Copies of this chain bind each other. A is one copy, B any other.
Amino acid sequence: MAPKTEHPHTPAFTKRDVDGDSSQRSVCDTCGFIDYQNPKVIVGSVVRHKNKVLMCKRAIEPRIGYWTLPAGFLELHETAEDGARREAMEEACAEIKIDRLLAVYSVTHISQIQLMYKAQLVRPDIAPGPESQEVALYDWDEIPWDNLAFPSVLWTLKYAKEVWDMDDFSPFGNPPKGKFPFDFR
């Protein structure tokens, strides 16, 4: 018997129509497995302590060295709130209490849904986790506005400031294009 030149389970994906589906999908020619690709969920928080906000200087790409809010990819079998708490712990060793949903963004060019929560520090102890070069509690005026990592960090801080002392507010969404340019103060 001639030796096989291909592994029996080598996947070979082709873009194809799939029954009852409006988009084409990558389907394995061998086993029929459909490789669905969908947006990912980012969960994060604006964490308040007294009148200050917790921020993290990124130790990883993208935007290494720029300032962000504690946030990251939601994991399998995790609630959005648990994910936001985990990210605050991982990035800033911060134990937080979540108050309420602050914002929901669709960031289409990178296929992300971002869920940002309003939260507070349970204990004032913070320290950089492996993904942060530095963490800090900033007054509004001290926030490094010129060195924010992503537009949605700016949108979220801006909205958080607006509703800072409100118990009752609706979640913010993507601002109209051009409303909050990235150099907005």
Query: Is A78 in the interface zone, CB < 8 Å from B?
Result: yes
Query: Is A108 in the interface zone, CB < 8 Å from B?
Result: yes
Find out whether the CB atom of A106 lies under 8 angstroms from the CB atom of B130: no
Query: Is A51 in the interface zone, CB < 8 Å from B?
Result: no
A185 to chain B, nearest CB (A): 27
Chain B residue nearest to A112 (CB atoms) is B41
Chain B residue nearest to A10 (CB atoms) is B7
Interface flags, A68-106, vs B, CB<8A=1, else 0: 000001111111111000100010000000001100101
Complex alpha-carbon distance, A101 and B171, angstroms: 8
Pick the contact of A80: B6, B77, B104, B109 (CB < 8 A).
B104
Q: Contact residues of A with B, CB < 8 Å?
A: 3-7, 9-11, 20, 22-23, 36-41, 60, 73-82, 86, 90, 100-101, 104, 106, 108-109, 111, 113, 115, 130-131, 168-171, 173-174
